A and B are shown apart, each in its own frame.
Chain A
Amino acid sequence: MSDLLCPQCGAPVPLRSAAMPYAVCGHCQSVILREGDAATRIGEAASLPFDVSPIELGTRGTAPDGAPFTVAGRVRWGWGDGAWNEWLLALPGGGYAWLGEAMGQFQYLTERKDLLDHPLLRDVAAGGSLPLGAVIELDGRIFTATDVKRATCLGSEGDLPFATPIGLAIDSIDFREPLGAALSIQRDPDGVSAYAGAYIDLGALKPKGLRQIEGWTLPEALR
Chain B
Amino acid sequence: MTDAPKPQAASPSARAITCPSCGGTIGIKAAGYTVSVACLYCGTVLDVAHDDVRIIAEYHQAVARLDIPLGTRGTLFGVEWEAIGWLERSGAGAVWQEYLLFNPYAGYRWLVLSEGDWQFGTMLTDRPETVSDEVVRWRGNGYELDDEPYRIATRRVLGEFYWRVRAGDQVDAAVFTRGREQLSCEWNAEETQWTQMVPLTGRKVGEAFGPKGTAGPKGKAGPKGKSKAAAAAPQGPYSSWSDRPFSAQGDVRRMLGWGLVALVVMLVVMATLAGDRAGMSGTMQVEVDGGGAHGNYGPVTVNRATQMVTIRLEGQGFTNKWVNVQLSLVNRATHQAIPAEATLEHYSGTDSDGDWSDGDRDATLHLYDVPRGSYNLLIEARAHDWHDPNAITTSSLMPDPLMPNGLPTPDPANPWGLAVKPPPEQIAMRFVVEDGGMDWPLFSTFAVLILGVPCVILIYRLSGGGQR
Contact = CB atoms under 8 A, between A and B. Distances in A.
A219 B105 contact: yes
B2 A70 contact: yes
Interface string A63-88: 00000001000001010111101000
Contacts of A202: 105-106
A214 B11 contact: yes
B84 to A, nearest CB: 11
A213 interface: yes
Contacts of B105: 54, 202, 210, 213, 216, 218-219, 222
B100 to A, nearest CB: 10
A213 B107 contact: no
B126 interface: yes
B397 to A, nearest CB: 74
A74 to B, nearest CB: 11
Contacts of B262: none
Interface in B124-158: 125-129
A51 B162 contact: no
Contact of A58 (B2, B103, B191): B2
A218 B108 CA distance: 15
Interface stretch (B28-36, B444-452, B455-463): B28-36
B338 to A, nearest CB: 70
Interface stretch (A29-37, A123-131, A175-183): A175-183
Contact of A104 (B1, B107, B129): B107
Interface string B14-57: 11000000000000011111010000000000000111000000
B35 A214 contact: no
Interface in A202-223: 202, 208-222
A113 B33 CA distance: 30
Nearest to B49: A82
B33 A176 contact: no
A54 B102 CA distance: 12
A103 B29 CA distance: 13
A92 to B, nearest CB: 11
A123 to B, nearest CB: 22
Contacts of A1: 1
A105 B126 contact: no
B78 interface: yes
A80 B47 CA distance: 10
A220 B163 CA distance: 29
Which secondary structure dominates where chain A touches chain B? loop
Contact of A83 (B3, B11, B32): B32
A212 B8 contact: yes
B52 to A, nearest CB: 12
B211 interface: no
A104 B51 CA distance: 20
Interface string B116-128: 0000000101111
Nearest to B32: A51
How many A residues are at the interface, by size bracket?
A: 35 or more
Contacts, number: 121
A51 B12 CA distance: 9
Interface in B164-196: 164, 191
A120 interface: no
Contact of B129 (A80, A178, A213): A178
Contacts of A70: 2
B10 interface: yes
A176 B193 CA distance: 12
A16 B126 contact: no
A40 interface: no
A218 B105 CA distance: 7
Contacts of B14: 52
A135 interface: no
Contacts of A76: 32
A14 to B, nearest CB: 6
B394 interface: no
Determine which residue in A52, A83, A179 has the highest number of CB atoms from chain B within 10 A of its CB, and name it.
A52
Given A16-B2, A202-B105, A216-B80, A50 B13 contact: no
A178 B50 contact: no
A116 interface: no
Contacts of B1: 1, 15, 18
A219 B129 CA distance: 32
B185 to A, nearest CB: 13
Contact of B13 (A199, A208, A209, A214): A214
Contact of B3 (A16, A52, A214): A16
A219 B105 CA distance: 7
A140 interface: no
B359 interface: no
A54 B104 contact: yes
B401 interface: no
A4 B290 CA distance: 112
A119 interface: no
Nearest to A144: B127
Contacts of B79: 219
Interface of A: 1, 14-16, 18, 49-54, 56-58, 60, 70, 76, 78, 80-83, 85, 90, 103-105, 146-147, 176-180, 199, 202, 208-222
24 contacts: A18-B1, A49-B31, A49-B32, A50-B12, A50-B32, A52-B11, A52-B13, A52-B31, A78-B50, A85-B32, A103-B108, A103-B162, A104-B162, A176-B127, A178-B127, A209-B5, A211-B11, A212-B8, A212-B10, A213-B105, A214-B13, A216-B104, A219-B78, A219-B103
Q: Which 9 residue pairs across A and B have the least CB separation, nearest first?
A: A51-B32, A104-B107, A180-B126, A199-B125, A212-B10, A214-B13, A52-B104, A82-B35, A178-B127
